Amino acid sequence: MNEILLPELEDIDFSIFKSIKNRKSVRDYKKLPFTLKEVSYLLWSAKSIPSAGGLYPLKFYLFSKNVIDLDIGLYKYEYNQNKLIKIFDKDVSNE
């Protein structure tokens, strides 16, 4: 299995107030690729949701099709080590 270490997270100087104030919905999506750093922040944010009893039963998977320096495929996110583990490398988005 392939393991991909994600970039380390850095502190972001951005307040919750600014986030809410600048929030907007987008309907015209662009096909720009994600960076591994953006994927790292996104997955870290997703796993930071509250969990009853601190059990964190959720598992996160990423289907990569348009991420710079990441092959197409399905990956499992290991949040304790901030890494992705490749499950398979087939493009199933059109199936």
Instruction: Report the percent of the chain where pLDDT is more than 90.
Output: 46
φ, ψ (nearest 5 deg) of residue 94: -105, 10
φ, ψ (nearest 5 deg) of residue 40: -60, -45
Domains of the chain: which residue ranges? 1-7+33-47+59-95
Angle at Cα 93 formed by Cα 92 and Cα 95, nearest 5°?
A: 65
Q: What is the pTM of this model?
A: 0.79
pLDDT per residue as tens digits for the range 43-78: 988 887 887 887 778 899 999 999 999 999 999 999
Q: Is residue 37 within a helix (H) or strand (E), and if so which, with residue range?
A: helix 36-47
